[in-house]
Amino acid sequence: MSVRSTARITTALDGRGVTSLPVLAGDGPLALRRTRTTPGSGARVTVVGAMSAPLGRDRLTLVTRVGEGARLTVDSAAATVALPGKGCEPATYDTELSVAERAELRRLPERLVSAHGSVLHMTTRVRLAPTARLALCEEQILGRHAETTGTLVSRLTVHRAGRPLVDQQLAYGPGAPGGRDGAAVLGGHRAVGQLIVVDPVFEGRCPEARMLGDTAVLTPPAGPALLVTALAADARRRRGVLDEVLNELLDAPAE
């Protein structure tokens, strides 16, 4: 039996200029909890896994709308584990994010683990107003301890002011083009992560492309943004690179 679940988050500024959550609704495996933040940092919502998911044929969707001037952080309580289900039909996990004028969204979930035998297709679609700010981190672990990976296809698209900023697709595991271990893909590493930061301040001083250690690179897309891609043998080493960039750019500890 497959699960279909949609969680929705909507933020707005109240009369005092404080970020409120007029919509906070989750069901099935996607439970949403408002969690504490420091003063002036906006609202924070933590996604809590209420049941094992995604399994084969599950359909999960997270929709987030950040209203004008609002600030929101969305993280998760634990890693998400993609598990095998009956048959070969893939599970899907779709994330839809929109950020209005002068608003800010930090989407910083825990890692996704692609367990052996699982098949998961992930899509993340982001739409930003011209003055919106975004920090989005996605991390994948290919297989649990001492096992091979499942099949994972991840698509990320970011549009700013109606124009494409980032459009990339990554595929790993059985059936993935070129295989995951080739030198042009992961070179034998099991942990991969992407961090994209969009900020109007980069219009005048976007960081230059550079290596971050031996297996991570910072590249500026065609717009006020930067994209960091990091590989590592394990989650701890890869997360260290992404945390360092987050701390440097956002002046706040990464979750």
User: Could you read off the pLDDT of 153-199 as tens digits, one per residue?
Assistant: 999 999 999 999 999 998 888 877 655 555 456 767 888 989 999 99
Better-scored residue on pLDDT, 49 or 181: 49
Measured CA to CA, the distance from residue 51 to residue 69 in angstroms comes to 34
Phi/psi region, residue 238 (left: phi>0; alpha: psi -120 to 50; beta: rest), is alpha
| In 26-115, beta strands by DSSP E | 30-34, 43-49, 59-66, 71-76, 80-82, 91-99, 104-108, 112-114
The pLDDT of residue 252 is 41
What is the rounded average pLDDT of the residues 34-63? 87
User: Could you read off the pLDDT of 77-125 as tens digits, one per residue?
Assistant: 999 999 988 767 899 999 999 999 999 999 999 999 999 999 999 999 9
127 in Cβ contact with 103 (< 8 Å): no
Q: What's the pLDDT band for 61 if we cut at 50, 70, 90?
A: very high
The pLDDT of residue 180 is 52
Residue 242 has pLDDT above 90, yes or no: no
| In 26-184, beta strands by DSSP E | 30-34, 43-49, 59-66, 71-76, 80-82, 91-99, 104-108, 112-114, 119-128, 133-142, 151-160, 163-172
Q: What is the mean pLDDT of the chain?
A: 87
Residue 39 has pLDDT above 60, yes or no: yes
Measured CA to CA, the distance from residue 202 to residue 226 in angstroms comes to 9
Tally the residues of the chain: 255
Measured CA to CA, the distance from residue 130 to residue 29 in angstroms comes to 34
DSSP H helices, 98-234, are: 202-205
The pLDDT of residue 253 is 37
Measured CA to CA, the distance from residue 84 to residue 150 in angstroms comes to 8
The pLDDT of residue 56 is 82
Q: List the Cα angle 18/22/24 in 5-degree steps.
A: 115
pTM, rounded to two decimals: 0.90
Measured CA to CA, the distance from residue 187 to residue 203 in angstroms comes to 34
Q: List the Cα angle 161/163/169 in 5-degree steps.
A: 125
